[in-house]
Structure 1
Amino acid sequence: MLTIRLIADPTGFDALALPVRPVEATAPDRGRSTGETDRDEGPLAELPPTALALPEDLLAEATALLPLVEQTGSAGTTHLSVRALRQPSRLLLVGVGAADEAGWRAAGAAIARTTRETSITIAMPADVTPEAVRGLAEGLWLASYRFRLAQATEPAGLTEVLVAVADPAAHEPALELARVTARTTRFARDLINTPSSTKSPQWLADQIVAAAAEHPGLTVSIREPEQLAAEGFGGILAVGNGSATGPRLVELSWHPAGASTHVVLVGKGITFDTGGISIKPREAMKLMRKDMAGAAAIVAATLGAAELRLPVRITALAPLAENMVSGSAFRPGDVIRHYGGLTSETTNSDAEGRLVLADALAYAVERLAPDLLIDIATLTGANAVALGKRHAALYSENDELAEALIGAGRTAGELAWRMPLTNDYVEYLGSDIADLYSAPASGAGSVTAALYLREFTGPLRDRWVHVDMSAPSWAEGNDGPVVKGATGYGVRTLLRWLGDLG
């Protein structure tokens, strides 16, 4: 992972990044719409005073460049200037927007993508905040992530960033928060990006065990098929029956002394999804290695909580299965008995995620009795239809809990939109031969999936949140701290929220 160091007085740097922020127009309004500026009224952007003492001629040159290159100072905008035979030899102007954490995160991501040097120094403003340092570092680390299995040699890239601040020690805690957040998000991305030819339920369970062993205080247990059958986890077993590799239920626990709140996190862990007998078309199947992104998120967040020693008890439940087509695969019309006794008529074997989540939720309620229950899953395509690629769909009956999670995501740079848990659709869940239809053919697919899961939350119904994040779990291209491929969506949100609980 890229090295980032806080330093008070770096010397001899070849590449320098200067933050740029917008300047508000001050001339009288002339009929412009709100936010418009006139180029004759002054500069588009300005250089804030920096903690690092810089030569006057360098500052004058950078200031003169701003209007010439039309640098607005908007978050993530950049201009790279080559200064032949001078030091620094590269000058990068980077916009920080409103200079809040989100603006600095965008700036960090832009620096990581623009810089062709192996090392760069960033001259932070004299009034820099810990939030700015955290945002900058997260942007740098997340945008510099790469996942490659090819043996071809990659071109050398940025390996070291020196962040110049007046008092490095004051900002070390913020940098450490960024480091843990980025490292755990990158771990989740690695798990999600790994091809399913490698990523069986057993392999994924082994990766979780190995990662947990690096953090004192974490415990992990794995239920294999025989134990799942003995204890009645019918949903997990049904989904995994068609695969040559049997399903697993991983239980990862962080229980610090003195913790007063117990949170259970449940994440869907389908290591590959063919759709089963209700088979997917080829295009819809190509990226189904990402169908365990919910499990990756809750495991990574728990690892991060342990590394940060957060004073919150956390149990992460990752039901892992591969939904394959074979003679032993479950069929549409089968009735499944879940943990705890509720039954589902499986109307669509491509709606398998809710079946494994149902078992895990029911187990959490009956055996773990947490204070709060959160599940996160790449559950429905309807999420993307309703909200596009940037927002997850969030469901809860608890206003305070819903807003806390949405707010944590907004601060962390992961967006969610609260959707209705309307009781008008509950009747669609009614089966003639079982307690529930698993997937009613009634439209509103993300809503009815959430209503189905709610049936397994029992007395925790009013302390439960469901996050449907199929769309934002994968990116088709680079966008700020997000890189093409797995995004690790949910890790940053959960870590912020768990930190706030502590």
Structure 2
Amino acid sequence: MLTIRLAVDPDGYAALALPVRPAEPTGDGPAAELLRTASRLPDELTAEATVLLDELDHTGAAGAGQLTVRPSRTPGRLVLIGVGAGDEAGWRAAGAALARTGRRERSITLALPADLDPTAVRGLAEGLWLASYRFRLPGVEPAGDDRPTLDEVVLAVADVDRYAAALATARVTAEATRFARDLTNTPSSVKNPAWFAGQVSSAAADRPGVRVEVREPDRLAAEGFGGILAVGGASVSGPRLLELEWAPAGATRHVVLVGKGITFDTGGLSIKPREGMKLMRKDMGGAAAVVAATLAAARLELPVRITALAPLAENAIGASAFRPGDVIRHYGGLTSESTNSDAEGRLVLADALAYAVDRLAPDLLVDLATLTGANAVALGKRTGALYSDNDELAGAVLAAADEAGERAWRMPLVADYVEYLGSDLADLYSAPDPAKSVTSALYLREFTGQLRDRWLHIDMSAPSWAERDEVELVKGATGWGVRTLLRWLATLG
């Protein structure tokens, strides 16, 4: 992982980056201007950079990055990085641009303004660490590209102590997001429920105050987790329920986070087409997000009790697969008629939600799930669909998502659509055709009991995966939700 360190007036750098913002429009001057930095720069270097801004048509927009070579001079490379309006989002985009523009440098020094707010350093560092992420399977070396890569960024500041906490928080957040990306990117030839539970158990082993419990198939059967067992019944890799708890002394609030953990989804007997199946290793993105956020909360010592529940199953095809039309009895006794085995995620979530209400009695209940493709139709690839009856809870999570740079949009829980959940055979019909993202949320709400007004659901199937590099995202798993959850949890202490 890239090293980022703070320093006052560093010297000896071969590559220097300078922050740039849009200039006030004058009609005849350059479109961008340099920010005044804490480090005193040679007058000739500042003059050269000012000329380059005009010659390169640099706009100063957030994430605009340009590198210029200066042969036989120091520094040998000059990078001009746009920060836009200079808010945290602009600095996050600048960090991502620096990671890509300077990717062939060993080390870059970035000169920062003396009066920069610590939140800007947090955004900058998150952008650097997240955009420089690369997934590698253990023991597998990528072919071809052995050119140098960026190892270090030195942030030249006026006061190291002022920014140390922001940088430390950014590191924990980025490492947690990268962990969630690793879990999600891992091929399902490696990743099954037992593997996922083992990875989380190992990551939690050295965390004081963290408890891990894993329910295996026999115990799931004994305790009545019918949804998890039905979905995982056809796989040679049996299902699990992972329970991960951070319980700091003195915590006065308890939050349960539930994440969908389908380690591969064939669609079951309602089999997916090839195009729909080839990326189904990402169908446990919700579980990855909630466990990573909980482990990060423990590292940050957030003063709130958090329990993460990850119902884990592989939705496979076989003689013991659950069938369209089967009635499934969930934890707590509610039953579902499922006529589409490709609507399996809600069945495992239903068990976990009912268990959370019955056994854990939290103050707040939040679930994240790669649940439907319908949310992408309405909101596109970068925005999660958020559902809640609680205006205060919804507002707080939306604000956290905005600060974290993970977009979400509140969707309606339409009362008239509840009738679509009616079944002649069971308490609920799990997969109505109309308004699929909305009715899926309404179905999950039926398992929240007395916590119905303190529950929030995010359908994050679309933003869990990036088709290309974009700002701090790297092609592949995004780790969506980790940053939002951490921002929100930090407000609850």
Q: TM-score range by the shorter chain?
A: over 0.9
Deviation at 1:483, TM superposition (A): 0.2
Aligned to 2:304: 312
Q: Which letter does structure 1 place at the counterpart of 2:114?
A: A
The answer to whether the 8 A contact 1:17-1:120 is kept is yes
Specify the SS of the correspondent of 1:500.
coil
Quote the Cα distance in structure 2 between the aligned partners of 1:315 and 1:154: 42
When structure 1 is superposed on structure 2, of 311-320 and 61-70 the one drifting more is 61-70
Aligned to 1:90: 77
Alignment of 1:316-335 (within 5 A): 316-335=308-327
Cα-Cα RMSD: 0.8
| Structure 1 unaligned blocks of 5 or more | 27-37
Aligned to 1:244: 236
Aligned to 2:467: 476
Quote the Cα distance in structure 1 between the aligned partners of 2:123 and 2:330: 43
1:235 and 2:227 aligned: yes
**Where do 4+ consecutive residues of structure 1 move more than 4 Å?**
none
When structure 1 is superposed on structure 2, of 150-159 and 107-116 the one drifting more is 150-159
1:99 aligned to which of 79, 86, 95:
86
Specify the SS of the correspondent of 1:501.
coil
Quote the Cα distance in structure 1 between the aligned partners of 2:476 and 2:83: 25
The answer to whether the 8 A contact 1:347-1:440 is kept is no
Deviation at 1:154, TM superposition (A): 4.0
Aligned to 1:258: 250
Q: Which letter does structure 2 place at the counterpart of 1:121?
A: T
Aligned to 2:486: 495
Question: TM-score, normalised to structure 1's length?
Answer: 0.96
2:106 aligned to which of 118, 132, 145:
118
2:338 aligned to which of 338, 341, 346:
346
1:273 and 2:265 aligned: yes
Deviation at 1:9, TM superposition (A): 1.5
Q: Which letter does structure 1 place at the counterpart of 2:13?
A: F
Q: CA 1:402–1:154 in 2, change beyond 3 Å: closer, same or farther?
A: farther
Aligned to 1:222: 214
Aligned to 1:465: 456
Quote the Cα distance in structure 1 between the aligned partners of 2:105 and 2:313: 44
Quote the Cα distance in structure 2 between the aligned partners of 1:433 and 1:231: 23
Q: Which letter does structure 1 place at the counterpart of 2:258?
A: V
Alignment of 1:133-172 (within 5 A): 133-149=121-137, 150-151=140-141, 152=143, 154-172=146-164
Q: Which letter does structure 2 place at the counterpart of 1:253?
A: E
Aligned to 2:393: 401
Quote the Cα distance in structure 2 between the aligned partners of 1:82 and 1:358: 58
Quote the Cα distance in structure 2 between the aligned partners of 1:108 and 1:263: 32
Aligned to 1:24: 24
Aligned to 1:55: 42
Quote the Cα distance in structure 1 between the aligned partners of 2:439 and 2:489: 28
Deviation digits for residues 387-419 of structure 1 (CA, Å, limit 9, x no counterpart): 110100000001111011011011000000000
Q: Which letter does structure 1 place at the counterpart of 2:12?
A: G
The answer to whether the 8 A contact 1:362-1:457 is kept is yes
Count of paired positions: 488
Deviation at 1:112, TM superposition (A): 0.4
1:429 and 2:421 aligned: yes
The answer to whether the 8 A contact 1:235-1:355 is kept is yes
Aligned to 1:297: 289
Quote the Cα distance in structure 2 between the aligned partners of 1:482 and 1:141: 10
Q: Which letter does structure 2 place at the counterpart of 1:470?
A: S
Quote the Cα distance in structure 1 between the aligned partners of 2:213 and 2:67: 51
1:175 and 2:167 aligned: yes
Q: Which letter does structure 2 place at the counterpart of 1:108?
A: G
Deviation at 1:127, TM superposition (A): 1.4
Aligned to 2:15: 15
Quote the Cα distance in structure 2 between the aligned partners of 1:110 and 1:431: 52
| Structure 2 unaligned blocks of 5 or more | none
Quote the Cα distance in structure 1 between the aligned partners of 2:195 and 2:42: 55
Specify the SS of the correspondent of 1:307.
helix
1:187 and 2:174 aligned: no
Aligned to 1:486: 477
Deviation at 1:215, TM superposition (A): 1.3
Identity %: 73
Aligned to 1:199: 191
Deviation digits for residues 451-486 of structure 1 (CA, Å, limit 9, x no counterpart): 000000011001000000000000000001000000
Deviation digits for residues 227-253 of structure 1 (CA, Å, limit 9, x no counterpart): 000000000000000101110000000
1:73 and 2:60 aligned: yes
Question: TM-score, normalised to structure 2's length?
Answer: 0.98
Q: Which letter does structure 2 place at the counterpart of 1:124?
A: L
